[in-house]
Amino acid sequence: MAQLKKLENFSGVKGPVLTIVMDGVGIAPANAGNAVYHAYTPTLDMLMANYPMVTLRAHGTAVGLPSDDDMGNSEVGHNALGSGQVFSQGAKLVSESIASGKMFTSDTWKNLTADCGTLHFLGLFSDGNVHSHIDHLKAMIEQAKKDGVKRVRVHILLDGRDVGETSALDYVEPFEAFIAGLRDDSFDIKIASGGGRMKITMDRYEANWAMVEAGWKTHVLGEGRQFASAKEAIETYRAETKVIDQDLPPFVIAENGKPVGTVEDGDSVIFFNFRGDRAIEISKAFDDADFDKFDRVRYPKVKYAGMLDYDGDLHIPSAYLVNPPEITNTMGEYLADTGVAQMAISETQKYGHVTYFWNGNRSGKFNDESETYVEIPSDVVPFEERPWMQCALIADKLIAALESGEYRYLRVNFPNGDMVGHTGNMLATQCSMEALDLQLKRILTVVDKLEGVAIITADHGNADEMYELDKKGEVKYNKDGTPKAKTSHTLNPVPCIIYDNFYRDAYSVKAQKPTFGLSDVAATTVNLLGYEAPAMWDESLIEIK
């Protein structure tokens, strides 16, 4: 049992403790591209002006990523928030496994490359290092050739979200040169299909299975509009649709009218994303013989593996190349074992973050009796068309839970700043922040009524930097004079505000430190609940007097 010890000098707040995650809301200079700054947010402004606030590192080594050039993301951010610790994360784990050669000596790799008709690689095609990295793909292709694989096909999901919004050819053209250098009489390798990551294959949380079905038809069945090359497909679609990379339609590479890379019996398939949320559904389609989410038309007998174990409890996929981090001693487990009633809530887009990722990549609850998880279904519409998303419905449910008196600790994620921020639409993102601000006011009024405390923070930046910036921090512009939209996360710190109108005499908020990170929130939370933080957690942001 992982039980918490009571503090000797503070019995904890009388009312509930609430963590509010404003997803994708970072702290950045007040320039033209800062949607958080430009939005009308009187509640957030009041909080930052009148309540103790520190900033937290939410990217790079502070959340277990390889370097401080790596953007944070919601998965690793919620791992850190929920566990109070920093663990080596996906990109770092995969890079270490490739560098050491451990991946290529694994039984999974040997099984995939032995006696396979065609070895297919499918995944996000960029160096964004959030879901995948093209260097991992290249290393596996080189090793496959060394190991005697004769035929390789690559299915590319265009990014434009974790990297520049129209950068696809910056990856495609060098990659074509790379595989041309490997191609010979004994090694047949080609790009076989592709499409934008928000159009096919990479849905998450079962929000839109039609995306996955479209991917299946494209990659596996070879159905769809044909082109002679990925470059031709990208240039043609850009001219026709005027959309950014993540929204480009699917395409199939064909020769003489025949797709060059359908998936057939006896083939092997590797999904080379390391991040789990957008990898689970396509993995189910390949792995599950009784799959019923859409008609696969044809279900080839293949050996399938993911880069990582995307869901450790449900074992999705059944085979994977790199063991995931073992995240233990999470706050959720400690609170459950201590008998603290908990509630977690968000809409579909981030529901898994306040549950699965918060609990250390663990499905299900630690204690069915003391924990309640609430999912508000997300709309299946472009986020820029309804930038308020479901924030009012989330707030309704959260307020009812607060007022019920059933829960000592609650956590909520509002996805607006992140999901709308990813569209690159500045006005829509401002609107999303304004909608969130209205809900903050409603919620904090109830927190006060119940004599509770709220920790208001974020998991990474996004809405704070909606335009690409040059090295001087100035906005970049397109040839037509419009600002160049940025659709990726940022490297900016995030706020952490402690909203407390009752107990400030019992503790002090520590002075800002450059080492403060998301993993410090867990210890802060249990201190406010009246408990000592476990020794393995990172430090609390408050000092009990």
DSSP 54: E
Q: Which two tokens stand for residue 257?
A: 């009218």
Calculate the CA dihedral of residues 88, 90, 94, 95 and round it to 10 degrees: -60
Q: Which two tokens stand for residue 46?
A: 């009041």
Residue 88's SS3 state is coil
Pairing of strands 268-271, 303-308: parallel
Q: Identify which of 415, 351, 413 has the alpha carbon closest to the alpha carbon of residue 387.
A: 415
370/542 Cα distance (integer angstroms): 27
Q: Identify which of 188, 103, 190 has the alpha carbon closest to the alpha carbon of residue 139.
A: 103
Residue 505: exposure state from Cβ atoms within 10 A (0-12, 13-18, ≥19): exposed
Residue 315 — φ and ψ, nearest 5°?
Answer: 55, 60
Sign of CA dihedral 132, 133, 134, 135: negative
503/455 Cα distance (integer angstroms): 14
119/147 Cα distance (integer angstroms): 12
Please answer whether residues 503 and 296 qualify as being in contact, where contact means their C-beta atoms are separated by less than 8 angstroms. Answer: no
Pairing of strands 507-509, 151-158: unpaired
User: Omega before 317 cis (within 30°)?
Assistant: yes
Pairing of strands 151-158, 226-227: unpaired
Q: Which two tokens stand for residue 130?
A: 């959030």
DSSP secondary structure, 357-415, as one string: ITTTS--S-S-TTTEEEEEEPPPSS-GGGSTTTTHHHHHHHHHHHHHHT--SEEEEEE-
Please answer whether residues 484 and 241 qualify as being in contact, where contact means their C-beta atoms are separated by less than 8 angstroms. Answer: no
Rg over alpha carbons for the chain, rounded to the nearest Å, is 24
34/32 Cα distance (integer angstroms): 6
44-55: string of b/e by CB count within 10 Å (b at 16+)?
Answer: beebeeebbbbb
Active-site positions? 74
